[in-house]
Chains A and B, each alone.
Chain A
Amino acid sequence: MIRVQREDFDVGAEIAALSAGNHAVGGVAVFIGLVRDMADEEAIGAMTLEHYPGMTEAMLERIEAEATDRWPLKATLIIHRFGRLEPGERIVLVATASAHRQAAFEACEFLVDWLKTKAPFWKLEEKSSGAEWVTAKASDDKAAARWGTPDSAPQDSTTDSDAAE
């Protein structure tokens, strides 16, 4: 299941619901992304996440389907927030449930890696020097690339993102 929302989410309730009533689940892996208070050694007051309504949901669903094809998953959940978020606030939750831990761990990492390079979200950071759009990192492209060639969504590692690394 995927959700794109402005509101925060209850981590405990979401994880419990993912495996509730499904006793074939032997393990749940979870990643929670948070807003940090520093970026490039500069303090961040807050960040605003912009997204592309419609395409965002479609991409997240496709990424989720890809994970389900690759690993024997019993359930998956991606929640990604948008709007203005302050340091310490949750941005994203990725949870994968499987019979065994290896599939859950791997699929969770895969989902985060692909989400970061394919889902149309953009972060605007509020710094003392002004608001600044976050530049894509070549290291994120590399992390996504290790899972193999995507069937969609070429966010290739261009010279500009390499330079930004």
Chain B
Amino acid sequence: MKLLYFAWLKTRTGVAEEDVTPPPEVATVAELLAWLQTRGPGYAEALADLSALRVAVNQEYAVPSDPVGPSDEVALFPPVTGG
């Protein structure tokens, strides 16, 4: 699974992009976020407030119950501020 981080998610996790292999029981966005929180202090801090987070799966906005799988591209970012 390819993970992308943008804006302060990138700063706090310290990575822009990484390939990960979550445990097989991780099947949804919510489960993925819960697993990511356990990966170290940077992740725990970056993912402390899930309401401040937006997730896209394969470049489409996703909700916590959406499925995720090994071939997916999952992006984590704060609410957008363009324009």
Q: Are B79 and A123 in contact (CB under 8 A)?
A: no
A91 with B80: in contact, given A54-B59, A154-B61, A160-B49 (CB under 8 Å)? no
The A/B interface has a contact count, at CB < 8 Å, of: 87
Assess whether A134 is interfacial by the CB under 8 Å rule. yes
Instruction: Provide the residues of chain B in CB contact with A135, threshold 8 Å.
Output: 78-79, 81
Q: Are B59 and A133 in contact (CB under 8 A)?
A: no
CB distance from B47 to the nearest CB of A (A): 14
Give the CA-CA distance A123 to B6 in the complex, in Å. Answer: 11
Q: Are B82 and A116 in contact (CB under 8 A)?
A: yes
Assess whether A80 is interfacial by the CB under 8 Å rule. yes
Q: Are B80 and A122 in contact (CB under 8 A)?
A: yes
Count, chain A residues at interface, CB 8 A: 35
Count, chain B residues at interface, CB 8 A: 21
Assess whether B33 is interfacial by the CB under 8 Å rule. no
Instruction: Provide the residues of chain B in CB contact with A159, threshold 8 Å.
Output: 51
Q: Whose C-beta in chain B lies nearest to the C-beta of A158?
A: B51
Q: Please name 16 pairs of A and B residues whose Cβ atoms are closer than 8 Å in the assembled complex, sorted by A.
A: A52-B4, A52-B56, A55-B59, A55-B75, A58-B59, A80-B82, A92-B83, A116-B80, A116-B81, A120-B80, A135-B78, A135-B79, A136-B80, A155-B61, A158-B51, A161-B79
New A-B contacts (20) at CB < 8 Å, excluding given A116-B81, A152-B61:
A50-B7, A52-B59, A55-B56, A58-B59, A80-B83, A117-B80, A118-B61, A119-B83, A120-B56, A120-B82, A121-B80, A121-B81, A122-B77, A122-B81, A134-B81, A135-B78, A154-B61, A155-B61, A155-B79, A155-B80
Binding site for A on B (CB under 8 A): 4, 6-8, 49, 51-52, 54, 56, 59-61, 63, 75, 77-83
